[in-house]
Structure 1
């Protein structure tokens, strides 16, 4: 009975002794370093597979070194023993000739923790300048050679320049925008009018040569479409009576469309071409008057 109780009491002590049997190993991968140079420090620990082991992170103290980063390897278990290994990237700005580092490894056991310090690792500081004698000023080495500097894109100035350009363009648009739009509208109206006159004359000429109702219908349709585009109305879809009413019973429009309807729908040709010529002339004259009216409105 007493033997079993003693064995039970000795089990935690034996487990702790076994955990402490392996000391975490810390070492620098290079014997010497210089001020500010990145060095690698390797921390490894062999233990039982069931232990929960925690290595130091970026919040730990690495004095006299500064923490830069770390890489770790997954736990490897062979022949009943596990190995955890982490490589830390450090640098130092201390001037001590020999600098040492000893990092702890933490073992979790429920609510309790056990901290095991690693073996002490030392690294030698490689000096580039020999230490000056007591009271003597250090000897300075002159180096006036220019080093190449990569050109950098000056974002603030470019953004300020772009903003200034946009501001100027906005001011120009506000000042001259209406005039430019007016000139562009005048250009389009003038171009469309010249095109209408040329096409209208071609249809009239074809009708005169062929006396074909198709050419006369095309001339009337071209006239309606041109006035629809010029004045932004819908007379191209209106009847003759509606067109005459739209233009307030204009005498030239009323007479020209009445003569054209008598020829197209009544198939009534006069002995001479006086009536058809009159109808074509009246429609062209009315279109020119409406063009002059629109052009005058755009220029004011």
Structure 2
């Protein structure tokens, strides 16, 4: 009886573990990474902010452009880099050249990452990921 329970427990544990792994593989979480290139911001002086995200190769990623509200910063320019793909997935990245005239001691920037996936003949934006940086 104890042997049957042990086999049952091991089997259930195995199934639960691998069903979780399969589910996670299907639903990859997209985690944007961003950082200012300097640790302080001076009023009216340029500051650079890098944004990158690693994702599955079959996904299309869009970063904010000049139509996005970068408050309290103003966008001067954006430089996007060619996607690179390896065994870990596809890496997309951009560097934003920003300027601020805000005199607040702490300034935060939250940028969305849009993910476009094809559904039949149509595509749609299905979500946004925000990250804030001091």
- The verdict on a shared fold, with TM-score over 0.5 as the criterion, is yes
Residue-by-residue CA offset, 1:127-172 (whole Å, 9 max, x unaligned): xxxxxxxxxxxxxxxxxxxxxxxxxxxxxxxxxxxxxxxxxxxxxx
Say whether the 8 Å CA contact 2:112–2:131 is kept in structure 1: no
User: Are the structure 2 counterparts of residues 13 and 118 from structure 1 closer, same or farther at C-alpha, using a change threshold of 3 Å?
Assistant: same
Segments of structure 2 that go 5 or more residues without pairing to the other structure are 1-21
Matches within 5 A, 1:99-248: 99-110=107-118, 111-122=123-134
Query: Following the alignment from structure 1 to structure 2, what is the Cα–Cα distance between the partners of residues 113 and 48?
Result: 16
Q: In the alignment, what sits opposite 1:85?
A: 93
CA RMSD in angstroms, aligned pairs only: 1.9
Query: Following the alignment from structure 2 to structure 1, what is the Cα–Cα distance between the partners of residues 33 and 131?
Result: 5
Larger radius of gyration: 1
Deviation at 1:115, TM superposition (A): 2.6
The higher-RCO structure (CA 8 Å, 6+ apart) is: 2
Q: In the alignment, what sits opposite 1:62?
A: 70
Say whether the 8 Å CA contact 1:76–1:83 is kept in structure 2: yes
Q: In the alignment, what sits opposite 1:43?
A: 51
Say whether the 8 Å CA contact 1:39–1:90 is kept in structure 2: yes
1:76 matched to 2:88: no
Say whether the 8 Å CA contact 1:26–1:102 is kept in structure 2: no
TM-score normalised by L of structure 1: 0.34
Higher fraction of strand: 2
Q: In the alignment, what sits opposite 2:104?
A: 96
TM-score normalised by L of structure 2: 0.74
Say whether the 8 Å CA contact 1:107–1:114 is kept in structure 2: yes
Query: Following the alignment from structure 1 to structure 2, what is the Cα–Cα distance between the partners of residues 31 and 40?
Result: 11
Say whether the 8 Å CA contact 1:25–1:118 is kept in structure 2: no
Deviation at 1:14, TM superposition (A): 5.9
